[in-house]
Amino acid sequence: MRVGLGGVVDRGAARASFEEFVRVRSAALGRTAYLLTGNRHDAEDLLQSALAQVALRWAAVDDAEAYVRRVLYTQAVSRWRALRRRPAETLGRPPARAASPGPDVELRVVLEQALRRLTPRQRAVLVLRYYEDRSEVDTAALLGCAVGTVKSQTRHALARLRALNPDLASLFDDHTHSGERTGGR
C-alpha cells in the first residue's frame, strides 16, 4: 500500500490496488469458493461477501491472497454452522388440486419470449403502455422522449409481435387507452 505524507494511506492507490487484485485473482478465488460451497450461486455470494469484507481493511492487508482465502474459509464455516442450527425443512401437504399450466401460463411464457426479441425501447414502450396502463404522454415523460417516438415505437413493436406470433399482437390490438388507437393507422 502507498502511504503518503504523515502516514496517511493514499486511498486512490489502495482502491486501484484492490481492484487490480480482484481483477487478477477473482477466478481462482471463485474456484476455491465453489469448492467450499459446492454450488456456483453460493460460491459467488461467498466470494462477494468476502471481498466486501476485505475491501474495508485493504489498506492494512499485507498478504492479500492469504487474507482473502482466510476470510472465505471462516465465512464458509459460519454458513455451515448457521445451516446446521436451522430446523430441518419438511414438506407440507400438497395443495388440494395441483396447478397445471393453463393457457394463461403458456401465453405468459410465449409473451415473455417474444418481448425479449424486441429492442429495449420497444419492450419498455409496450410494458409501460399496456402492462402499466400508462398514456402516451406519461410513457414519453418516463422514457425521456417525444410522444411521437412512443407512437412509432409502439407501432414497430406491435408489427414485430405480429411477425413473431400473430396471437400475441391481438392482446395489444384489443387494448385501448381512453379511446386512443394503438394498432397503427
List the domain boundaries for the chain.
5-85, 103-173
Residue 21 half-sphere exposure toward CB, CA atoms < 13 A: 23
Asked if 91 and 74 touch (Cβ cutoff 8 Å), the reply is: no
9-18, 47-56, 176-185 — which one is most confidently predicted on average? Answer: 47-56
Q: Region 11-24: what's the mean pLDDT?
A: 90
CATH number of 5-85: 1.10.1740
Q: Is the pLDDT assigned to residue 185 strictly greater than 60?
A: no
Looking at per-residue confidence, does 157 or 147 come out higher?
Answer: 147
Q: Is-same-fold flag (5-85; 103-173)? A: no
d(CA 131, CA 140): 15
Q: What confidence score (pLDDT) does residue 178 get?
A: 41
Percent of the chain at pLDDT > 90 equals 26
Contacts of 175 (CB under 8 A, 6+ apart): 130, 182
**What is the topology classification, in CATH, of domain 103-173?**
Arc Repressor Mutant, subunit A (1.10.10)
Looking at per-residue confidence, does 129 or 1 come out higher?
Answer: 129
99-130 tens-digit pLDDT: 555 566 777 777 777 777 887 778 778 877 88
For the entire predicted model, the pTM comes to: 0.43
Q: What confidence score (pLDDT) does residue 102 get?
A: 58
Looking at per-residue confidence, does 12 or 111 come out higher?
Answer: 12
